[in-house]
Amino acid sequence: MAKVKTPKTEAASGHKAGTSGHTSPTVNLFAAANAAPIAVKTAGEKKSKKPQVTMDENLDRLAAIDNIMKALEARKAVYETNVKKSMKNYFVVEGLRLGKQPENFEGVAEKATASCELRKRSAVSKLTED
């Protein structure tokens, strides 16, 4: 594991920023940053030539949460599609039975409810499959 040198602060260098003897003032923008050691690796045979910096477990947790959210969004889309199909089927069957547009209803399951509405569209709105 390679070590990264920490930049010298104003106090460590023994002189103030902006004093004579320097062409540009020394300013440490990272003085308040976490001083935890970070290992730096160079990229192996990967496509990227960027250096690789070892991060803490928060990066792994973030990636795991991102993967879980993507999986849940995909599963949500499947269930949403199935619920909309059931709702459309009800409106079609009930509309044919009544001979007119059926009333909006509340879909009820064991642990959830949903407002199911069939609305008239404006003449200027684009038609979609939904």
Which stretches of 4-128 are DSSP H helices? 10-13, 57-98
Query: What percentage of the chain has pLDDT greater than the value 70?
Result: 62
Per-residue model confidence (pLDDT) at position 79: 95
Residue at 51: amino acid letter: P
Query: How confident is the model over 102-129, as pLDDT tens digits?
Result: 999 999 999 999 999 988 777 777 767 6
Query: How would you classify the pairing of strands 105-108 and 113-116?
Result: antiparallel
Query: How would you classify the pairing of strands 52-53 and 113-116?
Result: unpaired
Q: How far apart are the first and last CA of the chain?
A: 56
Residue 58 has pLDDT above 90, yes or no: yes
Q: Which of 17-21, 54-58, 62-66, 69-73 has the lowest average pLDDT?
A: 17-21
DSSP state of 28: -
State the average pLDDT over residues 23-39: 56
